């Protein structure tokens, strides 16, 4: 069974930093591209970042470019999102989502971790 | 990249069919047959229902179907059931130079 489990969320002050993790199991992690998608309270979904299976390609939404860094450790079956210079508008539930090889959709999602940016 | 446009809400009675539209531009929905649809129940993670316009993942009911015409994609749910009540989001690949995905604002489906 595919499982994605996010962790690392919490309360952080504006301008602060936080690192999210996503632990993967039940599939060959190193074969899949991975994404972060977020959802502000009461709002819709927003794609945040993508990393290819080998980490050779990474992409970011304009809203987080230069502030967030996506990475992965295939030996540890783990995905990360390092967030810095956090703003109020980054408050959201952050989901990690799997992307099948050569496909362009998200076929498995974690349960999400809440990040609250507030003073 | 602007969000795709979905109706805020739709409703239907059990057994009926409903259609949710998702309007984009020639840079996203119109350029790629890569629209996917997600169902989200309150407090839960999104679930993939349709991908590449009209394909269903294993385990998803054939009551869910997708289509596309020009810059507009649609999700049709036939034989509405109470458990279909949820939020639905469309998503399109909008790659090319910028390589990104764009979501719709979401549609709240109410089963009357």
Pairing type for strands A78-83 and A18-25 reads antiparallel
* Of A45, A104, A112, Cβ closest to residue B34: A104
Structure tokens at A93: 């539930």
- Determine contact: A112 vs chain B, CB below 8 A: yes
Rounded Cα distance, A98 and A107, in Å? 6
* Of B100, B101, B103, Cβ closest to residue A44: B103
- Determine contact: B106 vs chain A, CB below 8 A: yes
A7 closest CA partner among A100, A102, A93? A93
Question: Is the confidence at residue A103, as pLDDT, over 70?
Answer: yes
* Of A62, A104, A109, Cβ closest to residue B93: A104
Q: Are B80 and B14 in contact (CB under 8 A)?
A: yes
Q: Rounded mean pLDDT of B41-53?
A: 95
Residues in chain A with CB shorter than 8 Å from the CB of B106 are 44-45
Instruction: Inspect the interface and report whether the beta carbons of A47 and B105 lie closer than 8 Å.
Output: no
- Determine contact: A46 vs chain B, CB below 8 A: yes
* Of A35, A44, A104, Cβ closest to residue B106: A44
pLDDT category at B96 given cuts 50, 70, 90 is low
Edge-to-edge strand ranges of the sheet holding B18-23: B18-23, B72-77, B64-69
Residues 6+ apart with CB under 8 A from B30: B24, B70, B71
Q: Give pLDDT, residue B97.
A: 59
Question: Is the confidence at residue B80, as pLDDT, over 60?
Answer: yes
Question: Is the confidence at residue A27, as pLDDT, over 70?
Answer: yes
**Mean model confidence pLDDT for chain B:** 93
In degrees, rounded to 5, the angle at the alpha carbon of residue B100 between the alpha carbons of residues B97 and B101 is 140
Residues in chain B with CB shorter than 8 Å from the CB of A62 are 1
Q: Give pLDDT, residue B32.
A: 86
Instruction: Inspect the interface and report whether the beta carbons of A107 and B51 lie closer than 8 Å.
Output: yes
Each residue's pLDDT tens digit, A30-85: 999 999 999 999 999 999 999 999 999 999 999 999 999 999 999 999 999 999 99
Using CA atoms, how far residue A104 sits from A11, A86, A117, B45, in Å, is: 32, 28, 30, 18
Residues 6+ apart with CB under 8 A from B101: A35, A47, A50, A104, B91, B92, B93, B94
Question: Is the confidence at residue B1, as pLDDT, over 60?
Answer: no
């Amino acid at each position: 069974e595919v499982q994605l489990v996010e962790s690392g969320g919490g309360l952080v002050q504006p301008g602060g930093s936080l690192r999210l993790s996503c632990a993967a199991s039940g599939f060959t992690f190193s074969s899949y591209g991975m994404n972060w998608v977020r959802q502000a309270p009461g709002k819709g979904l927003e794609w945040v970042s993508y990393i290819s299976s080998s980490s050779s390609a990474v992409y970011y939404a304009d809203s987080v470019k230069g502030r967030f860094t996506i990475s992965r450790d295939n030996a540890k079956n783990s995905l990360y999102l390092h967030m810095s210079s956090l703003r109020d508008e980054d408050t959201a539930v952050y989901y990690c989502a799997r992307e099948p090889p050569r496909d362009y959709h998200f076929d498995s999602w974690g349960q999400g971790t809440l990040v609250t940016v507030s003073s | 990249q602007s969000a795709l446009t979905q109706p805020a809400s739709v409703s239907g009675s059990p057994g009926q069919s409903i259609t949710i539209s998702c309007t984009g531009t020639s840079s996203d929905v119109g350029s790629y047959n890569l629209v996917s649809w997600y169902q989200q129940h309150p407090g839960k993670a999104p679930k993939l229902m349709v991908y590449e316009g009209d394909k269903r993942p294993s385990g998803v009911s054939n009551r869910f179907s997708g289509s596309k015409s020009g810059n507009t994609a649609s999700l049709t749910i036939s034989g509405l059931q109470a458990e279909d009540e949820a939020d639905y989001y469309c998503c399109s690949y909008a790659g090319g130079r910028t390589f990104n995905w764009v979501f719709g604002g979401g549609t709240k489906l109410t089963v009357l």
